[in-house]
Structure 1
Amino acid sequence: MEPTRCGWCTSSDLYKKYHDEEWGIPVYDDPTLFEFLILETFQAGLSWITILNKRENFRNAFDHFDYKKVALYCDDKIEELMQNNGIIRNKLKIKAAVSNAQAFMKVQDEFGSFSDYIWKFTDGKPIINHPKTSKDVPATTPLSDEISKDLKKRGFKFVGSTVIYAHMQATGMVNDHAEDCWTRTK
């Protein structure tokens, strides 16, 4: 028998695997935080399953999310990415990935790591919510508003409050698993 999961992830095995193994689990390493930041920015206006289905293509196209390499992408590389039908070919989002990699490294220079910067907003600990169902989970919060505003001030793009709240959920800064979800007991 299948375990009880959050309602949003039951439509595919890929969704279930992501839910069970990644979503809501705290991430403190910069490379993974950068990967989710890029994936979430590409997800803006699209469904998360679209991004998950293209995740390996994104990894290959963006040098396995090596932010030091992405920060150096030139116009030729951006045009190459625009021809890659395995990813979301949105020029503004591709350019944002490059500028976000540059801003990411500036944050590292200032705070020692992006992880130290982003987790300071929650005092280094996950926020544990207790939604009854996925319908009880907000799209934004005052904290995602605050982080979004701060990131934009630091030069990040495509980091609106909804994107940032999704990033917080993906990286375990927020645990929004439904109360009856099996992951609450692991």
Structure 2
Amino acid sequence: MRAARPAVPARWTRFVGSDRRRSWLITGCVTALVVTYLVIWTLYAGTHTYPRYRQLAAGAASTGNTSFRVTSLVSTEAVRTKYGDVAHPDPGAVFVVAEVTVLLRAPEEDPICGLDLLGPGGRTWETPIGGPTTDQPSDCSDGLVVGRPFSYQQIFEIPATYADQLRGLVVVNHLTGAPSQVIRPAG
């Protein structure tokens, strides 16, 4: 003999109806809770996760099939552009000119060429779009050949207060979760 079902209020029966509807309702509620948890966790992780850096001794750093060497890292008040005029940074800022040599050891579809400048406290700067350019190439997209070193120049504009606190250039390895390598020129 089957056990009698507990009495369900009429209001609930009208809303839920059959056992099948009740199952779908419970599944929907559980799914909504899981999605809410995942969204909250993703937002928390995104705001509380910071890039990790590993300072290397002066020399080269590698990522994938590409190795990088910083040949110079100099701050300056003015840069002579490829058009012959002199570019000046905004008031309270300086230019940091980084000369980088890249060596591609094996063919790679999209080698990483743009490096970020790392300052105190993990603060980074990118090369500004539309910033000053010199006669030197500003990235390695056009002249990179396997087995032949290629030199290019990146110009950053940073607040002058950080000019003497720079740690180096950041080489990000997107292939692993390892800390990003920070390289600086020798000497």
Q: Tell me whether the two structures share a fold, i.e. TM-score over 0.5.
A: no
TM-score by length of 1: 0.23
Larger Rg: 2
| Richer in strand (by share) | 2
TM-score by length of 2: 0.23
| Richer in helix (by share) | 1
Q: Which has the higher contact order (CA 8 A, sep 6+)?
A: 1
